[in-house]
Structure 1
Amino acid sequence: MYLPRESAEHDAASLDMYNGFGGDPARLINAAFALNTIGQFALLVLLATLLLSRAVYHYSSVMFNLLLICLAGSVPQYFLMYAGEIYNPLPPLGLCASQAALIDGLQCAFAVVALCLAIAYMVEFQIVSLTAMQTKYLQRALVALPYLTFLPFSSGVAIFGASHPEQVRHMPNDLTCILHNRTLITATRVVIATLVTLTLSLTTFAILHTLTTRERLYRKRLTVPSFSEAVRIAVFALFQAHLLTLDILRSYIQSDSVRVAYMILQALVPLITALNFGSKAECYQAWKGAAIGLTNKFHKRSCHQSAARDVQREMRINVDKSVCVVVD
C-alpha cells in the first residue's frame, strides 16, 4: 500500500507531520514500507522452507519461533499505514493504543527469543550439560517464554493507554503511536537492554568455547559446535543493540537524522533477520531444488501441450483427407 503523492491527504498540515524527512516525506515513508514488505516476504519464504523442504533436515524450534515473532513484529509498525492514518496527527484512539501495546510487547518478546536462541545453542552442543529430560522441558520453556513475556508488557501498555488516552500519541516524524509515560518506557528499555546484553555475553562465551574445544572434539570424533551458528546469533544480538541505541537516542535527542536512521533500520529488521538466519547451504539447496523442480514441471507441461497440439493437427489433417476422398 503506497501513499499517492498527489492525494488530498498531502496538504500542508499533513506534511508538517514529517517535516524532518525532507521535502518529499512520502518517498522516504514508501521506501521504508517497501523494505519492510520485502523482508516480510523473505521471512515467509524462509519459514515455508523450514517447514516444507526435505533438504533442511534440521532446524531449531526456537529458531522457527524467532522468525515467526520477527514476522509478527513487522506488522504493527505500519498499522497507521494500513489504515490510511499515517499523516493524521490524531488517529483513532483504539488504533493508536493497539499499535503502541503490540509494538511494546513484541519488542520485548523479540529480545527474549534471541536470548532463548543463544541458550538453545549452548544446550544443543552440550556447552551446558543437561539430561535428556531437562533438555526436553527446557526446549518447551524456551518456546513459550517469548509469548509469556509479550502478554504482561503488551497488556500493561494497553490498559494504561485505555485509562490515560492523552498519553498515547502520534508524534511528528514518527510512523507509530507511542506511549508517553517515562516510567513504562524506561522499564521496557531496561528489560530489553538487559536481555540483549545477556544474549551478547552468552554468544561471546559460546564462540570462545567453540574455538577452544573445536580441535579436541575433532580428534575425539565428537559433535563439533557450529561456529557459524554462534556468529549468526551474535550478529543478530549486535543488530538488536544498535536498534535499541537508536530508539533511546530518538527519545532523548531531537535529531531528524536519528529518527530517519531508526525508521530505516526498523524497516530492515525482517530482511536482515531472514538473510542472517537463512543464508545456509541447506536453504540454498532447498531453493535450488525447488527452482529445478518448477523448471522441469514447466518444461514437461510445455512438451505435453506441444505434443497435444501436434496430435490435434495430425487428426485435423486426416479428417480433411477423408473429406476430400468422400467428395471425389
Structure 2
Amino acid sequence: MAVWLFFQLAADHVLLPILVATFVLSRSVVRHSTLINLCCTWILSGVISSLLLYTGEATGPEPSKGLCTAQAALMSGVFPMTSVATLTLAYRTWRSCTPGKSQLREKASRPMRVTLLGSPYITLGVFCAIAAKLGVEYPDQVDRTTRFFYCAINLKTFAIAINAFSAAVCIIAVGFFVHLAMQQLRTRETRPPRQHSAKADTAFRIRVGLLTLYMLTAALANLGALGDPGTAFPDIFTASVGMAIFLLFASQSDVLHAWRTLRPFSAPLPRRARPGSPPAPHTPHPSFDLDLLTKRTDSDVSEQARLEALHTYYAERVRGEGVKVEIIPRPQDAFIPGSELRRASGGSGDGGSFRKEKGAV
C-alpha cells in the first residue's frame, strides 16, 4: 500500500505537474503537445486512483457503493487512456522521422492536433460508460477487496477486454519505434547526423521508445495477472509509470538548465556595470545627519566631526565610480592659481590636476 501510494502521490500529484508547468511556462524548453498530454493523462490517473484516499475510505470497511462504482468505472478507462496517449506520442515521434523535420518544433495541422490530443479522453469516456453500465447491472461484482487499492468491477471478460486493448495499443506503439529504429540505422549509414538538433531529436526518440517499452511491459503484466487476481504487483508496476515518465523527461539537459536558472519573481535584476568598471556596491546608500550640516559650532572637535561625517558620506556615495573625495572647509580653499587643490590642513598643493584626479565637495 505504501509503495503504491508513493507513486500515486509523488509522481502524479507533485512531480508530473512540475514537469508540465516547465514544458508550458519555460521558453527554453520546447516539447510537443502529445508529450504534455501524456503527462496530463497520468496526472488524471493519479487523481482517479486516489478518490478513496481523498474521502478517507482507502482502508477499513468497504466504501459506499456509489463512490465505489464511480471509481471502478473511471479506473476501467484509465489504462486504456494512458495507452492511447502513449500511442499518440509514439506516432508523433515516428512521423517526425522524415528528413528535415524535428520532433521538438514541428507543428501539425489543427485537425491532427485535435485527434491526437482528444483520442485518449474519448477512450476514457467509452470505457467508463461501458463500466458504469456493468457496475449498475452487477453491483455485487463491484468492490475494493479484489484490487486492494481501489474499487474495480470483477467481471473477467471485461477485464480481459481492457487489458487486451491496452496491450494491443502498446504493441502498435512499439511497432512505430521498430520501424523508426530501422529507418534511423539506414539514415546513419548514408549520412551520419552531425548537427546538435539531430542528436537532440535522436536522444528524445530513445526516451520515448523506452517509455513505450515500459508501458508495454505494464500492459502485459496486467494481462498476465488475470489468472492470479491475488497479486498486487501489476498495480504497483503500472503506478510506477508516472515516475518513469518524470525521470525520463525531467533528466533532459534543457529541463535541468531551466530549473537551475529559476529565480524568485521578486528578486531584482542585477545592474549591468560598464566594461572595465569596478563592481557596484551591494550596500544601501549611507544616511547623513542633517544637524551636522546646519548646526555649525566654534568647537574644533564638533567641526572635525562634521567634516569626517561629510567625507564618509560622500565617499560611500561615489564608491565604485573612480572618484576621490576630499572635504575642504571653505570653497575658496579649493583652488589656487594653476588649478591645484589645496589641502585644508596646510594649504599646500598636492601636485595633481583637480579635474583629472580629485573631486571636491
- TM-score normalised over the length of structure 1: 0.74
Question: Residue 294 of structure 1 corresponds to which residue in structure 2?
Answer: 264
Question: Residue 155 of structure 2 corresponds to which residue in structure 1?
Answer: 181
Where structure 2 has 5 or more consecutive residues not aligned to the other structure, the ranges are 271-280, 296-301, 303-361
Query: Which of these residues, 64, 74, 90, is aligned with residue 62 of structure 2?
Result: 90
Structure 1 counterpart of 2:91, one-letter code: I
User: CA 1:266 to 1:176, structure 2 compared with 1: closer, same or farther past 3 Å?
Assistant: same
| 1:204 shift after superposition | 1.6
Question: Residue 168 of structure 1 corresponds to which residue in structure 2?
Answer: 142
| 1:218 shift after superposition | 4.7
The whole-number CA distance in structure 1 between the counterparts of 2:224 and 2:151 is 17
Question: Residue 51 of structure 1 corresponds to which residue in structure 2?
Answer: 24
**Structural mapping, 1:1-328, within 5 Å:** 29-40=1-12, 41-56=14-29, 58-126=30-98, 135-171=109-145, 174-218=148-192, 224=198, 226-253=201-228, 258-259=231-232, 261-290=233-262, 293-294=263-264, 297=267, 307=284
Say which SS state the counterpart of residue 106 (structure 1) adopts: helix
Conserved 8 A contact 1:36-1:269 = no
Say which SS state the counterpart of residue 59 (structure 2) adopts: coil
Same amino acid, percent of matched pairs: 21
Conserved 8 A contact 2:8-2:239 = yes
Say which SS state the counterpart of residue 143 (structure 2) adopts: strand
**May I ask how many residue pairs the two structures share in their alignment?**
280
Structure 2 counterpart of 1:106, one-letter code: V
The whole-number CA distance in structure 1 between the counterparts of 2:19 and 2:291 is 52
Conserved 8 A contact 1:89-1:170 = no
The whole-number CA distance in structure 1 between the counterparts of 2:3 and 2:90 is 33
CA-to-aligned-CA distance 1:41-84 (integer Å, 9 cap, x gap) = 1101110101111111x211111111110111112222222211
The whole-number CA distance in structure 2 between the counterparts of 1:317 and 1:282 is 58
| 1:298 shift after superposition | 8.5
Deviates more, 1:238-247 or 1:70-79: 238-247
Conserved 8 A contact 2:222-2:235 = no
Pair member with larger Rg:
2
Conserved 8 A contact 2:8-2:50 = no
User: CA 1:243 to 1:219, structure 2 compared with 1: closer, same or farther past 3 Å?
Assistant: closer
CA-to-aligned-CA distance 1:17-37 (integer Å, 9 cap, x gap) = xxxxxxxxxxxx234313321
User: CA 1:316 to 1:118, structure 2 compared with 1: closer, same or farther past 3 Å?
Assistant: farther
Conserved 8 A contact 2:71-2:151 = yes
Structure 2 counterpart of 1:120, one-letter code: R
CA-to-aligned-CA distance 1:224-266 (integer Å, 9 cap, x gap) = 48222222222112211222233234431255xx41x334323
CA-to-aligned-CA distance 1:127-154 (integer Å, 9 cap, x gap) = 7x9xx99855323311121112111111
Structure 2 counterpart of 1:297, one-letter code: A
Higher helix share: 1
Higher relative contact order (CA 8 A, sep 6+): 1
User: CA 1:281 to 1:195, structure 2 compared with 1: closer, same or farther past 3 Å?
Assistant: same
CA-to-aligned-CA distance 1:288-313 (integer Å, 9 cap, x gap) = 111xx23993998xxx99749x75xx
Deviates more, 1:220-229 or 1:70-79: 220-229
Say which SS state the counterpart of residue 209 (structure 1) adopts: helix
Question: Residue 9 of structure 1 corresponds to which residue in structure 2?
Answer: none
Conserved 8 A contact 2:160-2:223 = no
Structure 2 counterpart of 1:230, one-letter code: R
Structure 2 counterpart of 1:264, one-letter code: I
Conserved 8 A contact 1:109-1:147 = yes
Say which SS state the counterpart of residue 126 (structure 1) adopts: coil
Where structure 1 has 5 or more consecutive residues not aligned to the other structure, the ranges are 1-28
User: CA 1:295 to 1:221, structure 2 compared with 1: closer, same or farther past 3 Å?
Assistant: closer
Conserved 8 A contact 1:104-1:153 = yes
Conserved 8 A contact 1:204-1:234 = no
The whole-number CA distance in structure 2 between the counterparts of 1:161 and 1:191 is 20
Say which SS state the counterpart of residue 55 (structure 1) adopts: coil
Conserved 8 A contact 1:77-1:103 = yes
